[in-house]
Amino acid sequence: MPRITLADIARVLNLPAPPEASRLITGIAALTDARPGDLTMITSDAYLKQFAKTQATAVIAQRKVRLPGGGKIIFAVDDVEAAMANVLPLFAPPIQRPAPGIDPSAKISESARLGPGSAVAANAVIGQRTILGARVFLHPGVVIGDDVTLGDDCEIYPNVVIRERVTIGHRVSIHAGSVIGSDGFGYRWDGKQHAKVPQIGTVVIEDDVEIGSCVCIDRAKFGATRIGRGTKIDNLVQVAHNVEIGPHSIIVGQTGIAGSAKLGTGVILGGQTAVRDHITIGDGAVVAARSAIANNVPPKTTVSGMPALPHRQSLREQAALRRLPELILQVRRMQEELDALKKKP
């Protein structure tokens, strides 16, 4: 663990050095878990009770929060989350990477080309005519098919499979267990059985994409399934054939995107979102978790629900639905009163 002082934290946050600037900070923890020597954070007045009890030595605090005195070192900032994101690398342990070079157990085709500074770990497999850029790290058990291209500074974690003819840009990370370029789910009924439709296309992953664990990105029927630059995909996401995801989008875990859907730039899909095939989600659209997208979503729109509707409309409908049992009782009583009136002479 590196020796991090209060002065180091202040420097990262572009703040003046506090008193006892040479004092060591030994870790980062939540308000309720912090111990002496730890750094913690507070984002709003809702956590003032936890702040009063925390044992942390230093706190990154939202500037607008009125903190009581208590002898703690306070780093007041406008954006706590951004500040913590800048501080965390000081404490981050180094990523365990394979040593530069090729492990003796790796199987590499003679026609494959590896860029300078690359590392290929135990039991990795690289197919024919595949090209790896500079400083590519392949962790144990990675399998890369024929005619694949990986750009510079990529990191492929254990047991990832990258199928044939896939193209991956620079600075791409793919986490353990993901499969890139598996066959798209294409079948047609021929009168007797579901006959497989050949999936002859490919997958293109642009620069600066990060893909979580156990993600499946299917190859196109023809053409390309495309993941735009800077997009981040969480664990357990399914991206079907011929999907196009625009640059700088966020796809949260357990989302499924059906074939030929098109997502614009900066789209956010909350967890467990389902996206129907052949629809378009416009630039900057936000989809709340567990929504089902059955129709096109205009740009800069927030939608939610199943089926997804404009968010305010969805909230109104959910509020009305919660009143349904009460309304049913009211209608039943009214019906009973009406029936009683009808029986009177």
> How many CA within 13 A on the CB side of residue 286?
5
Question: What CA–CA distance (Å, rounded) separates 326 from 338?
Answer: 18
Does the active-site annotation cover 241? Answer: yes
Question: What CA–CA distance (Å, rounded) separates 86 from 76?
Answer: 14
Look at residues 254, 241, 248, 292 and name the one whose alpha carbon lies nearest to residue 267: 248
Catalytic residue among 170, 175, 241, 248: 241
Question: What CA–CA distance (Å, rounded) separates 100 from 258?
Answer: 39
Contact call for residues 151 and 184 (beta carbons, < 8 A)? no
Tell me the catalytic residues.
241
